[in-house]
């Protein structure tokens, strides 16, 4: 129930979400997540204080109210990870509102999120990633096989997100040696493209029965519309079954594999951060933990002392 939220507070929330979309270029799914998190916070405050809360009072929540909100969220089954994300949303909203109002919001902005164990990326090893790229093209129709192989090559060879690969337009064909990609938060980065990836895209365009026009999507679906990420996810599911790979072998795992394999080959974290388009180096640092874990697996299997 969210009827307790004052109309003026709803308007402020709507203005912030519009700011995220229009100014910061946040993805629709990100905006929806932020909106849901802050809506629960506003509803909690209204019910906790016994009535609608005006925008001017939203930044004045105290530490006791924040603890009560976190307790209520955990009581309804929210995980520590999800609650940490919700608190991040509340802090971002409050920071924006406080700046607009010229207000202080120390209690909220300094509130600590619950600790949780960050899930590590689950990349494929080099042979498995190569097998996926080679096997994903095992489709009946040659142009679809070429399309799926080209998308997979961009995910693994350039570290693109699936949304970034599918947002390419005909204007970007033939692919240049360096692509300019606009990713999360409207951040722009330069990404090298391998010759094999450029050749894969060329093969797809040559076979595609639908015209690839400058202002249209580069990757087309069966009927000529923009290719859906669900189609590529389905292709990956078939590859998983064929190769006996775990459920973690998703399109995004190819991007993880790109980063992990670069790190294993001696790439430095700052460069990998720039190639992936991560806003924070701490996000990229998760791949060092993956690399260390793999190193220990090899050590345990191969070192003579590991076997007595």
User: Token pair for residue 245?
Assistant: 């790979």
* Active site members: 161, 184, 252, 255, 278, 287
Query: What is the residue whose two structure tokens read 């874990």?
Result: 293
What is the secondary structure of 75-129 as a DSSP string? HTT--HHHHHHHHHHHHHHHHHHHHHHT---HHHHTPPPPP--PPPP-PPPHHHH
Q: How far is CA 158 from CA 137, 141, 163, 194, in A?
A: 18, 26, 13, 7
- Please give the Cα distance from 34 to 43 (Å, whole number): 14
- Sequence-distant (≥ 6) Cβ neighbours of residue 262 within 8 angstroms: 159, 272, 275
User: Token pair for residue 103?
Assistant: 């207000």
Query: What is the residue whose two structure tokens read 């590529």?
Result: 232
Question: Strand 178-182 relative to strand 188-192: parallel, antiparallel, unpaired?
Answer: antiparallel
Q: How far is CA 102 from CA 61, 97, 99, 159, in A?
A: 16, 8, 5, 41
- Please give the Cα distance from 234 to 256 (Å, whole number): 19
């Amino acid at each position: 129930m969210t009827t307790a939220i004052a109309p003026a507070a709803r308007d402020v929330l709507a203005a912030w979400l519009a700011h995220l979309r229009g100014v910061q270029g946040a993805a629709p799914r990100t905006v929806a997540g932020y909106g849901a998190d802050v809506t629960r916070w506003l509803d909690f405050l209204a019910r906790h204080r016994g009535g609608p809360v005006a925008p001017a009072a939203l930044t004045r929540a105290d530490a006791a109210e924040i603890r009560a909100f976190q307790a209520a969220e955990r009581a309804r089954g929210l995980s520590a990870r999800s609650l940490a994300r919700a608190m991040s949303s509340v802090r971002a909203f409050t920071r924006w509102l406080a700046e607009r109002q010229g207000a202080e919001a120390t209690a909220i902005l300094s509130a600590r999120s619950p600790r949780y164990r960050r899930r590590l990326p689950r990349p494929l090893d080099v042979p498995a990633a190569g097998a996926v790229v080679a096997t994903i093209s095992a489709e009946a129709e040659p142009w679809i096989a070429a399309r799926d192989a080209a998308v997979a090559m961009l995910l693994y060879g350039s570290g693109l997100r699936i949304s970034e690969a599918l947002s390419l337009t005909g204007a970007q064909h033939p692919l240049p040696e360096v692509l300019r990609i606009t990713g999360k938060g409207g951040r722009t980065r330069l990404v090298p493209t391998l010759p094999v990836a450029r050749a894969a895209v060329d093969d797809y365009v040559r076979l595609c029965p639908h015209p690839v026009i400058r202002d249209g999507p580069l990757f087309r679906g069966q009927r000529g519309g923009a290719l859906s990420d669900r189609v590529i996810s389905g292709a990956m599911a078939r590859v998983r079954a064929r190769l006996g790979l775990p459920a973690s072998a998703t399109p995004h795992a190819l991007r993880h594999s790109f980063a992990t394999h670069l790190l294993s080959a001696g790439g430095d974290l700052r460069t990998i951060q720039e190639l992936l388009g991560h806003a924070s180096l701490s996000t990229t640092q998760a791949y060092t933990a993956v690399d260390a874990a793999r190193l220990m697996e090899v050590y345990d299997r191969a070192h003579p002392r590991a076997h007595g």
